[in-house]
Amino acid sequence: MEDKNKKPEELQGFTYDSEKSDDPYANVRRESEPYTFGPFGPNQAYGPQEQTLSEQTHTELLPSSASREYRPFTVSGGAVRSDWGAKPPRRSSLRAVFAAFLVGVVAVGGLMFAADRGDWFSSELLGGTTQVQDTAVKAASDPVVNTGDVIRPNNIAKIFEQSSPAVVKIETYASAQQNNGGGIMDDDFFRQFFGDDYGNGGNGNDGNAGGELQPSGMGSGFIFDSTGYILTNQHVVGGASEIKVMVDGYEKPLTAKLLGSSYELDLAVLKIEGSNFPTLKLGDSSHLNMGDWVVAIGNPYGFDHTITVGVLSSNEREISIPDANGTRNYKHLLQTDASINPGNSGGPLLNLQGEVIGINTAVSSQAQGIGFAIPTSTITEVLENLKSNTKIPQKPVPFIGANLMNVTEDISQRLGIDESVKGAFVREVLFNTPAYKADLRQYDVITGMDGKDYKTIEDLIAAIQTMAVGDKVNLSVIRGDKKIEITVEIGDRNEFETQ
């Protein structure tokens, strides 16, 4: 039976004699001091566990090892202090610290002033500086202070809120015969720039009766006049028998009338009946800089009022896109990496002030982030002509009116001319053109103009386009076994096409 008068140390199997022990703190140590708390659960205890009803917690008790040196106090060096009764060291007064600080400030300031007055670190004293160092100093003197220019703008939501109501969805309809073949979504323009998987084409309605209107295309546009004038691309509405416009706030689509369009510029103006429509303001695209943020709003793949954000990648781009009616030669285009997809065509490209600076027109399907928009600098020049459906003045295009191809070895053999002859073979002469009036004939070979030889059609056409309309040129021609000279007056291709 255990003796209740035994000390706790004896109950645990440990005996301490304060008189014989080397530990000067044996008499003042509490019962719980040989134990430490560890981060283990109840099932991982290294020693006996105790639980009090008042605490209702599980604690883990680790018995101290006999080999472990008990050290109630430690210092950073790990040694036990032996001077506990000594007088504490004297601490520095606040006045002394402040005085030392002032001395340092005066000394450093004096050195800086002396260095500046004496020009201690000038290029002459240091033996000159390198060009790289000069450039670094110049760059440091002109830092970027507007952090808004290097982060994504935070007003995109506001731009969308204010601009979106003026953006419309355009749906075009054509007869079943038109849809079954040669639809606008089947031509080379959309295959090259929008891929082969978009567009209604025949839409599976081959058996429908002729004359019934079927969906033929879809795009975007925006209202620029509160009385219902809408700007869009010509290729969005080209060949349509009926045009429907979905306007924000209207449950049913509105029928639009095509006022004027330009195939060459790929622009069109529509008119819907009504008033007080929300509008977008036309801005000035000439004030844009590459890297400026731009916002595109449209209806890609039919997803109404989709907004995308990017930057102006470049401007003054020129691209040529063939379609079923010819070749569109775009000039002065804006290039952007804002996402543009089928259905975005005709929608606005906006700056951060919410102003229209371009009309989204095309995107390269073989790349990512290469989209194009017609700038407002082009639009504003012809806008009134489109609204009134009057002829848009065009810059004269010099031409002679003949279809040409380079002379090949096979052509030389068939014509019976020397294979060393190089020039432009006349495949066709268009009726009533300058070439037709000058008696240039099919199968002629043009070898030069005004006494200069031109071995390729590219060189000859480039030379003709440098001439002014009305100028007369002498063409060196081989006809059969004869060499002749033909005088041709340069004409204007735009005028000829109009006639």
Q: What is the pLDDT of residues 462-494, one digit of tens each?
A: 999 999 999 999 999 999 889 999 999 999 988
Strand partners, 426: 404
* Residue scoring higher pLDDT (122 or 118): 118
Weakest mean pLDDT among 84-93, 143-152, 312-321, 422-431: 143-152
pLDDT at residue 45 in the model:
39
Distance CA 465, CA 434 (A): 14
- Return the pLDDT at 325: 75
Are the beta carbons of 433 and 402 closer than 8 angstroms?
Answer: yes
- pLDDT at residue 145 is higher than 50: no
State the Cα–Cα distance between residues 262 and 269, nearest whole angstrom: 9
- Average pLDDT over the chain, rounded to an integer: 76
438 or 86, which is more confident?
A: 438
What is the residue extent of each domain of the chain?
A: 156-387, 398-498
Residue 264's pLDDT band (cuts 50, 70, 90): confident
Q: For residue 178, what pLDDT is reported?
A: 54
Catalytic residues: 235, 266, 345
Q: Which fold does the domain 398-498 belong to in CATH?
A: Pdz3 Domain (2.30.42)
DSSP state of 310: E
Q: Residue 56 above 70 pLDDT?
A: no
**Do 156-387 and 398-498 share a fold?**
no
* 301 or 366, which is more confident: 301
- pLDDT reported for residue 99: 83
pLDDT at 97: 78
User: Is the pLDDT confidence value at 266 over 80?
Assistant: yes
Residues 6 or more apart in contact with residue 227 via CB below 8 angstroms:
274, 275, 277
The pLDDT of residue 292 is above 90: yes
Beta-carbon neighbour count of residue 153 at 10 Å?
13
Asked if 311 and 293 count as a contact pair (C-beta separation under 8 A), the reply is yes
DSSP secondary structure string, 172-237?
A: EEEEHHHHHSS-GGGSHHHHHHT-SS-S-TTTT-TTSPTT-EEEEEEEEEEEEETTTEEEE-HHHH
pLDDT at position 390: 84
Fold of 156-387: Thrombin, subunit H (2.40.10)
Tokens 């007088």 sit at which residue?
A: 87
Q: pTM for this structure? A: 0.55
List b or e across 45-84, with b for residues whose CB sees 16 or more CB atoms inside 10 angstroms: eeeeeeeeeeeeeeebbeeeeeeeeeeeeeeeeeeeeeee
Q: Are 199 and 190 in contact (CB under 8 A)?
A: yes
Comparing 6 with 39, the larger pLDDT belongs to 6
61 vs 352 pLDDT, higher one: 352
Contacts of 472 (CB under 8 A, 6+ apart): 487, 488, 489, 490
Supply the pLDDT for residue 201: 40
- Report pLDDT digits (tens) over 318-365: 988 887 777 788 989 999 999 888 889 999 999 999 999 999 998 887
